[in-house]
Amino acid sequence: MSESWIVGINPVEGALSNDAGQVRELLVEQGQRNARVQALAERAKALKIPVHHRPREQLDKLSGEARHQGVVALYEPPPMAHEGDLPALLERDGADTLVLVLDGVTDPHNLGACLRSAAAARVTAVIVPKDRAVGLTPVVRRASAGGADRVPLIAVTNLARTLRELKDAGVWITGMAGDTDDSIYGIDLKGPVALVLGSEGEGMRRLTRELCDFVAKIPMPGAMESLNVSVATGVVLFEALRQRSAKR
């Protein structure tokens, strides 16, 4: 993947904290007096990352519509985890395996927010189909607030095959859909599990749903029929964590 610009104080700070080896240079707005920006510049220098002072107009051009707050970083994203890495990740986490599968989430802000929740929940891996994912773009990285650096994102060629491999490895699969009577709060999410969410518009694809061991919904007594996929992801991941903490 080609180099890209990470924009703003918090995203740049996250890159320096979690993935400094991929940061190629820092550009700081000329005359910038923000203490946090100055601290980032000093930190980059300590890490032997080149720091250059540039006119605001140059940072504006590089940042597009995003607010750069006086600092941007040239970042070379590491390669995404490979689907061949999945067996080792499952073996590493064993009974604590918690996999998030996103079948059709293509909006970079939603994918980034899902990665943020996945990192917070210490998810084993996030799996997406190659033909229905945006990859680790700058927008995804920014929306993930550092989550993209903390959880493996694996794009697989054949999602159905990967789900079968999860089942063969002893992982129980629960898909989320609104047209079922079963509540996520009634599903046993302890042990090795995978949680599958589809796109907001279409939900899970038919074959994906057929490969799930359980299909559940998030009960919504209010007037809304659905949640944003990133919000739903947070709800189901932390329900799994709640159940797992209760067993100890």
Annotated binding site for S-adenosyl-L-methionine: 198, 218, 227
How far apart are the C-alpha atoms of 221 and 219, rounded to whole Å? Answer: 6
130-158: burial string, b at 16+ Cβ within 10 Å, e else: eebbbebbbbbbbbbbbbbbbbbbbbbee
The residues that bridge with 71 in the sheet, in sequence order, are 28
Could you tell me the CA-to-CA distances from 10 to 17, 22, 40, 46, 91 in Å, in that order? 10, 16, 10, 18, 34
Binding site feature residues: 198, 218, 227
How far apart are the C-alpha atoms of 189 and 173, rounded to whole Å? Answer: 9
